[in-house]
């Protein structure tokens, strides 16, 4: 065991184990005494953890938490102060909707040494595996990441007027539950109803499924075909590039619905 308390906040990427960074792989396979992992860390990635290394699952789903965040914070501090090297393994990137910043603050407040190991964020991975460049000359000059998650019974508190920019790609994490509201609010704020939009479930994994439609039609299409979380929603003209750049079917990506995209 390590004598110096140390926590690594490690991004595991969006699911495909081949997208792990070299550093993440080294920490998982050769340095960790204990791995504390989230729900969105794929089984294929957890298979790299050597036998005999402790694994602690702290996954959270909507309204269903194995441990509340404050207890996760306390757990990783307690483990580190016992002299173990702790790999805190998170889906995607720790600092993009991963609450890595909160955990880093808690470690700092408790005098525990830590290091952040970035990972490929789910928005980037899901888009690439679906043939969608998040920026593309003539289609999008920028990209914005927002969360579609909020407490039960509470409307999303987003600046819809700002988000309804036809020159920007909008990437919505955890957007499935509130997809009808997202569609309605963006259209009301002026984004054309015919704007191309995609919903991607289990992105970059062997179970990836995607539905490509328009902003107005995507909520109903996603419901009709039974998409289930985790789902990434991508809205913007760049989505039409999936018709050209999508990987071949043999890649393992299953396209379960595609609407013909027309001009608004």
Q: What is the model's pLDDT at position 151?
A: 59
Average pLDDT, the chain: 91
**Residue 246 — very low, low, confident or very high, per pLDDT cuts 50/70/90?**
confident
Q: What is the mean pLDDT of residues 166-182?
A: 96
Per the annotation, the verdict on 155 as an active-site residue is no
Around Cβ 64, how many Cβ atoms within 10 Å?
A: 8
Per DSSP, what are the bridge partners of residue 255? 210
Residue with tokens 């299409």: 221
Cα 234 versus chain centre, distance: 12
Predicted model pTM: 0.90
Residue 264 domain flag: no
Choose one of 117, 151, 167: the last residue of a domain. Answer: 117
**Between 190 and 253, where is the model more confident?**
190
Structural domain for 79, as ranges: 6-117
Tell me: pLDDT of 13 over 70.
yes
Per the annotation, the verdict on 38 as an active-site residue is yes
Q: What is the model's pLDDT at position 154?
A: 63
Choose one of 101, 117, 133: the last residue of a domain. Answer: 117
User: What is the tally of structural domains in the chain?
Assistant: 2
Give the helix ranges, DSSP H, for the chain. Answer: 22-26, 43-46, 69-81, 100-109, 122-129, 160-163, 179-188, 218-224, 242-245
Say whether both 238 and 126 belong to one domain. yes
Tell me: pLDDT of 253 over 70.
no
Q: Which of 23, 44, 60, 207 is catalytic?
A: 60
Residue 1 domain flag: no
CATH of residue 39's domain is 3.40.1010.10
Residue 263 domain flag: no
Say whether both 28 and 68 belong to one domain. yes
Q: Which of 6, 16, 33, 38 is catalytic?
A: 38
- Tens-digit pLDDT profile for residues 27-85: 999 999 999 999 999 999 999 999 999 999 998 765 555 789 999 999 999 999 999 99
Say whether both 209 and 150 belong to one domain. yes
Say whether both 223 and 137 belong to one domain. yes
The residues near 84 (Cβ < 8 Å, ≥ 6 apart) are: 1, 2, 5, 33, 34
Q: What is the model's pLDDT at position 62?
A: 58
CATH of residue 138's domain is 3.30.950.10
**Between 150 and 217, where is the model more confident?**
217
- Tens-digit pLDDT profile for residues 120-155: 999 999 999 999 999 999 999 999 999 997 755 567
Tell me: pLDDT of 263 over 80.
no
Here the tokens at position 165 are 């920019």
Choose one of 99, 117, 135: the last residue of a domain. Answer: 117
Say whether both 144 and 95 belong to one domain. no
């Amino acid at each position: 065991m390590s004598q110096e308390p140390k926590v690594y906040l490690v991004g595991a990427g969006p699911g495909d184990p081949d997208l792990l960074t070299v550093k993440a792989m080294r920490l998982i396979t050769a340095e960790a005494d204990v791995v504390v992992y989230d729900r969105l860390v794929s089984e294929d990635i957890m298979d790299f953890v050597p036998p005999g290394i402790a694994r602690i699952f702290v996954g959270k789903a909507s309204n269903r938490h194995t441990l509340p965040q404050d207890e996760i914070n306390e757990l990783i501090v307690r483990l580190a102060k016992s002299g173990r090297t702790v790999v805190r393994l998170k889906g995607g990137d720790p600092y993009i909707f991963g609450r890595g910043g909160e955990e880093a603050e808690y470690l700092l407040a408790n005098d525990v040494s830590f290091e952040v190991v970035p990972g490929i964020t789910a928005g980037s991975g899901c888009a690439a595996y679906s043939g969608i460049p998040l920026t593309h000359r003539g289609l999008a000059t920028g990209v914005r990441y927002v969360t579609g998650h909020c407490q039960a019974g509470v409307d999303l508190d987003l600046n819809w007027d700002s988000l309804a920019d036809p020159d920007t790609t909008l990437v919505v994490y955890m957007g499935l539950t509130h997809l009808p509201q997202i569609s309605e609010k963006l259209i009301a704020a002026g984004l054309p109803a015919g704007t191309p939009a995609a919903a991607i479930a289990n992105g970059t994994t062997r179970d990836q499924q995607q539905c490509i439609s328009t902003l107005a039609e995507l909520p109903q299409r996603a419901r009709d075909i039974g998409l289930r979380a985790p789902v990434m929603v991508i809205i913007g003209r760049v989505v039409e590039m999936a018709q050209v750049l999508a990987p071949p079917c043999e890649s393992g990506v299953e396209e379960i619905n595609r609407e013909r995209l027309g001009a608004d």
